[in-house]
């Protein structure tokens, strides 16, 4: 069957799936998610291909490595065939690792040397790759980079207005959520129109402008901190703000990183990074929650409008990610601001999160689509297998 094990690690979660090729695409034999890693309320759920629950438990995992070891034992006990390859989602590989590839010693060494490009993401990814080697010795491992999808951007989109020497050192716009966007392009297939904007809205959030299915601009930049405000990240920020904080608050690089990535965004504005809690508070009249949601939706709409300028029009707007898929209120707020682009929602379709939520009166279509990063990783790995 040649199953591929896919590992998608987050800051406090670990998603996985065991995929086989079937009917021309990748099919999950089993999948699951370890959530709230590091917390006493951590959970693990594993489901089979019929979505029947094989295991659901509360478990305190101290790390992604421990969670993966536990998951591997569960899969072995359930007599699933051992994988012929393992695919990892790697958020950032720096300037030299920008395509999906087999993890060799040279690739691993380059990844270790690229830590400064994503100090929050690369170290745990490196640890998980090494741990997977111990769990599955002699099994090839593949790195699937979120930045790979955006390598089609033109120079005018990925260059910053700073001296050439910094660009030569890798300071440029890379873009992220690439596996999510690639899965959307794959799912739409021939239905993908020439001028599309996709918005991946979750705890991390970004947008991409797609010209004939290729990335030509995206909101995140050198790191996943840029772009629109997110759950705990600032998004775009006047470069003078960090300088001001360094001079006046005496913040060093570590303190700035903590502030910009963990104590900013919706959390700083509304007191929580949970959109559901923000919406409840907003409905009850909480000004801070209302302001957080308004800033979030306003930023999304501004980015969509700017990408319509890049694309010379707009045929389709796609919402994906946890917030994009489940918050009808956010979708309605964003689309209300974009009526001048020919966007009009069907209120009932939007309320039920239908696949297509635009009305026939609109010139541009609006869709809600799941982000399928794990199956996309399996697709990319299958292509690379000998």
What residues are labeled active site?
A: 146
Pairing of strands 141-145, 205-211: unpaired
CA angle 245, 248, 249 (to 5 degrees): 65
The one-character DSSP state at 341 is G
CA distance 380 to 180: 12
Contact 121, 224 (CB under 8 A): yes
* Residues facing residue 46 across a β-bridge: 32, 55
Contact 327, 282 (CB under 8 A): no
Q: Which residue has the tokens 């065991």?
A: 18
Two tokens, residue 249: 């608050």
Q: How long, in residues, is the chain?
A: 386
Q: Calculate the CA 165 to chain-centre distance.
A: 30
Q: Which residue has the tokens 């209300």?
A: 336
Q: Calculate the CA 62 to chain-centre distance.
A: 23
Burial of 243 (0-12, 13-18, 19+ CB in 10 A): exposed
Burial of 108 (0-12, 13-18, 19+ CB in 10 A): middle
CA distance 148 to 221: 13
């Amino acid at each position: 069957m040649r199953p591929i094990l896919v590992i998608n690690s987050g800051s406090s979660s670990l998603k996985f799936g065991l995929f086989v090729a079937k009917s021309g695409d990748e099919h999950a034999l089993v999948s699951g998610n370890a959530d709230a890693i590091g917390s006493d309320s951590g959970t693990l759920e594993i489901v089979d291909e019929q979505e029947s629950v094989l295991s659901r438990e509360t478990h305190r995992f101290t790390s992604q490595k421990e969670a993966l070891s536990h998951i591997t034992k569960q899969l072995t006990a359930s007599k699933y065939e051992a994988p012929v390859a393992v695919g990892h989602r790697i958020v950032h590989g720096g300037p030299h690792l920008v395509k999906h590839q087999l993890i060799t010693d040279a690739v691993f060494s380059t990844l270790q040397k690229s830590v400064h490009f994503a100090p929050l993401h690369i170290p745990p990814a490196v640890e998980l790759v090494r741990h997977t080697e111990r769990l599955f010795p002699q099994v090839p491992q593949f790195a699937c980079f979120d930045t790979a999808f955006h390598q089609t951007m033109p120079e005018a989109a990925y260059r910053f207005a700073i001296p050439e020497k910094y660009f030569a050192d890798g300071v440029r716009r890379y873009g992220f959520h690439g596996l999510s966007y690639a899965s959307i392009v794959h799912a739409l297939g021939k239905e993908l129109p020439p001028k599309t904007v996709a918005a991946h809205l979750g705890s991390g959030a970004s947008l991409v402008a797609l010209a004939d299915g290729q990335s030509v601009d995206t909101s995140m930049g050198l790191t996943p901190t840029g772009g629109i405000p997110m759950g705990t990240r600032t998004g775009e920020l006047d470069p003078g703000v960090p300088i001001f904080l360094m001079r006046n608050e005496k913040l060093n690089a570590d303190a700035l990183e903590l502030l910009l990535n963990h104590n900013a965004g919706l959390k700083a504005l509304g007191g929580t990074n949970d959109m559901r809690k923000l919406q409840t508070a907003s409905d009850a009249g909480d000004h801070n929650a209302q302001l957080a949601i308004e800033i979030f939706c306003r930023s999304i709409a501004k980015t969509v409008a700017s990408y319509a300028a890049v694309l010379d029009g707009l045929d389709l707007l796609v919402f994906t990610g946890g917030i994009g898929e489940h918050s009808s209120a956010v979708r309605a707020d964003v689309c209300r601001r974009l009526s001048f682009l020919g966007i009009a929602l069907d209120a009932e379709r939007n309320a039920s999160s239908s696949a297509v939520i635009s009305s026939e009166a609109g010139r541009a279509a609006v869709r809600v689509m799941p982000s399928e990063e794990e199956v996309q990783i399996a697709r990319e790995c299958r292509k690379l297998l000998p």
